[in-house]
Chains A and B, each alone.
Chain A
Amino acid sequence: MHIELRGITKCFGALRANDNISFAVPPSSIHGILGENGAGKSTLMKILSGFYSPDSGDILLDGKKVRIASPADAIRHGIGMLHQDPLDFPPLKVIDDFILGSKGNLIPNHKSATREFRELAARFGFSIDPESYVDTLTVGERQQLEILRLLWLGARALILDEPTTGISLPQKEKLFATLKKLASEGMTILFVSHKLEDVEALCNKVSVLRQGKLVGSVDPPFATGALVEMMFGKEIALEPKAQLRFGSNVLHIKHVDLEGIRIQIKGLDLQVRAGEVIGLAGMEGSGQTLFLGACAGLAQPVGGSFCLDEDEKDMTGRTYHEFRKHGVAYLPAARLEQALVPGLTLTEHFILSEGMKGLFIDRKKAEALAKSRIQVFNIKGRPDSTVESLSGGNQQRALLALMRDPLKLILVEHPTRGLDIESTIYIWNKLKERCARGTSIIFISADLDEILKYSDRVLVFFAGRVSPPLEASTLSVERLGRLIGGKDWETLETEAAHA
């Protein structure tokens, strides 16, 4: 399908989210839409997929002007959108999710739908059991399910919104292979991302948005520096990895057994030294979240013990509150659901986290505190902004600003998931500052580059198996990718035996 946008403009109040954007995407191509958070990518894609109608401008499909009234209308026109968080139904069976929304008889024919599902899945080499439940799938598999469903409904153009967030490397490779195959069969693909490497690896052409405007469209080969400058209007450099000397033990994990809903970890040993960063790699649900929670007292070990500090204080079986008292902080992945209180302002968050004394709130003092933290942490927001009004990057900054000082151990799930490059670098600089002062960090990330770039040592998780700590400097993305996918574990064991 040939898609053409002409002069699309969309305003929300005073904000011009899309300002006179025009470009065209021919069939059989993968077109990248690049831009930092808030650049207007999502708004533009939501206009194309029928969520919003533009204030002005036209959409032309195969040369014909169309009005897309709703997402369901978009799919009738052949445009399917894959949302960042797959819009599916976690408690349903895969096949029910697949059928939901399709037209047909009162009683859907499960047999034929299952057959068609299997045929489609086989075409792309996906292995999803149609009788399993959606909530047992990984994010990558849920994406695959959505792609199959949209194809089944007759999509001739696919929009993918940040599809590589939260999926593992092998799944990302599979996704890219699938998209290339689809494009070669005539599909038009719009690939929205803020990750340069993804766009560079995949796209035939890239359009860059900044502050609602189209900065330009670029053909391959792509020059990373030029793209970054288009995205931000300036060059951004990453601070080099500083060599730190590690101090004494902060956390000593002795032969711990853990048990989750579908996962078991046995006999895990680890010593974390002051100032050290440990990265936890693995496909979602391989046990790393369970492990991180156990380090904070949020999950209880079945066997073994957790000791804090040089004096080996045994914390096994204690609650999170006691871990917190001993200088352990936990930053969950679901910022708005688990870490912040929607509806409360930044000032109110600081009041809560500082545990100010007295019955009445000292508003003046609190506001001054909030103001200074907002400045120090470069949060785009006011003391009276509610946390849900902040962007993802600013919510993460607020979380960092809320953490107490000093801390012994910071546990972070996906520290930079969904954030743009600028925020990512900022967040890590702040975390590294803490390390320099002797705080240890254990973090989970699906982004292998992030794991290698920022960790000192890496633990790889695969279906509850945990690798011995690996020096990050000796690892490559490819090796890590294979380990995450469950390959090369034998060599790991022989290496460990030699060491």
Chain B
Amino acid sequence: MNNSALFVSLGGVLASAAPVLFAVIGETISERAGVLNLSMNGMILLSAMGSFAVALSTGSVVLGFLAGALIGALVSLVVVFASLTLLQSQVAVGFVLALLCRDLSYFLGSPIMGQVGPRISQLPIPGLEQIPVLGTILFRQDMMTYLSFILVILAWFFIFKTRPGLTLRGIGERPAAAFVRGANVNRLRYLYAVLGGAIAGLAGPIYSLSVKAGWKGTISGLDGIGWIVLSITIFGGWKPFRAAFGAYLFAFLQWLGLVLQPSLPSVPSQVLQVAPFPLMILTLLFVNIGNAEWVERSLARLPENVRRDIAKVLRAMNATPPAALGVPFEKE
């Protein structure tokens, strides 16, 4: 492969990571507020199908994207209503919704399966795209990929630099303390879960109107993405930049699978397609390995200076979830 082709495909990696990024950032916001939205996998499928249907019938990609966000928001609304108002388990409701939305998308989407519809086009940024290497990789993307870059920065800025972001962290860590300081915990949880759902819902149309344009039912290749999104949220330690790194790592591994396939004819193609998933799991395990008791025990046998360095690295990699994640809040 020559260099320019490599850069083009690295650009492709960024583009194919965009939907994962939207979903991960949406889930991160929701989980920061303490709401675990496990419906992600079904929700992405449903919003991909729904937004394609809307774009197909109206001819407007903008309406398609709006529909995607709306579907994401509505599915999240079901999760929060069931958990915060009806006090049901977020895990149970999320799981059922993940399955329901997936089957719903296959069922409702069958009439539009395989049709050719509108899609968003490349939007090279004049001037910037001429920069060698970086121009090809970064600035010959479509609108949503650019937005995915901005989204990560915005989310980081909001969560860590603004006053409402601070409160958002507070309600996910210790809702009782946030309540005492004047936060309306449940209203904010509704708000952030639905907002997070809307952002994550955009992942659907980014697939069906761009990255994997169209709707192909069960062979869309989207089933499973939502679960990866949930694990990247954990891998990302509920921090936007680290989550973005996880999303790009996943996209890169997927791309690597495609690239390596021709040069490894003896390996069945399924293995390379599936490889990113166990690799992600291994990464997750590795990141949080410092928690395991046996690691502590085996570290204790190493010489002191080596152990100290390893312990430092392990602690830096380790991520703790929001303490009140999945726990409903009742003020006594």
* Given A91-B173, A91-B323: A106 and B162 interface contact (C-beta under 8 Å): yes
A-side contacts of B182, CB under 8 Å: 70-72, 75, 101
Which B residue sits closest to A81, measured CB to CB? B180
Looking at chain B, what size class is its interface with the partner chain?
Answer: 20 to 34
Judge whether A88 is part of the interface by a CB distance below 8 angstroms: yes
Kindly specify which of A92-100, A282-290, A383-391 makes contact with the partner chain: A92-100
Which of A72, A75, A100 is close to B170, meaning CB atoms less than 8 Å apart?
A100
Q: Are B300 and A89 in contact (CB under 8 A)?
A: no
A108 to B332, CA, bound (A): 30
* CB <8 Å contact, A99 and B332: no
- Contact of B187 with A by CB under 8 A: no
Closest CB of chain A to B229's CB: distance in Å?
23
Could you say which residues of chain A place their CB within 8 Å of the CB of B179?
Answer: 70-72
Question: A51-B332, A300-B296 given as contacts; is B163 within 8 A of A105 (CB)?
Answer: yes
On whether the beta carbons of B161 and A107 are closer than 8 Å, the reply is: yes
List, in ascending order, chain A residues with CB within 8 A of B162's CB.
106-108
Residue pairs across A and B with CB atoms within 8 Å: the count is 70
A259 contacts across to B, CB distance below 8 A: 300
Q: Is A60 positioned at the interface, with any CB of B under 8 Å from its CB? A: no
Taking CB atoms, residues of chain A closer than 8 Å to B174 are: 87-90
Measured CB to CB, the closest approach of chain B to A155, in angstroms, equals: 13
Query: Looking at chain B's contact residues, is the secondary structure mostly helix, strand, loop, or mixed?
Result: helix
Q: For the complex, what is the distance from the CA of A99 to the CA of B178, rounded to whole Å? A: 12
Q: Are B163 and A89 in contact (CB under 8 A)?
A: no
A128 to B74, CA, bound (A): 45
Determine whether the beta carbon of A108 is less than 8 Å from that of B173.
no
B315 to A, closest residue via Cβ: A261
B residues in contact with A75, CB < 8 Å: 182
Give the distance in Å from the alpha carbon of A366 to the alpha carbon of B182 in the complex: 47
Pair A300/B166 contact, Cβ less than 8 Å? no
Q: In chain B, what residue has the closest Cβ to A108?
A: B163
B320: A residues at CB distance < 8 A = 91
A99-B180 contact, Cβ under 8 Å, with A89-B173, A300-B300, A302-B300: no
Q: How far is the CA of A70 from the CA of B182 in the complex (A)?
A: 8
7 tightest Cβ-Cβ pairs between the two chains A and B: A101-B181, A72-B182, A87-B177, A71-B180, A89-B173, A100-B166, A108-B163
Q: Can you give 20 A-B contacts (C-beta < 8 A)?
A: A52-B332, A71-B180, A71-B182, A72-B181, A72-B182, A83-B180, A87-B174, A88-B174, A89-B173, A92-B170, A96-B169, A100-B166, A100-B167, A100-B178, A101-B170, A105-B163, A108-B162, A108-B163, A259-B300, A300-B300
Starting from the known contacts A70-B179, A101-B178, 5 additional A-B residue pairs (CB-CB under 8 Å) come to A46-B332, A71-B182, A87-B177, A100-B166, A100-B167
Q: Which residues of B approach A to under 8 Å, CB–CB? A: 161-164, 166-167, 169-170, 173-174, 176-183, 296-297, 300, 320, 323, 331-332
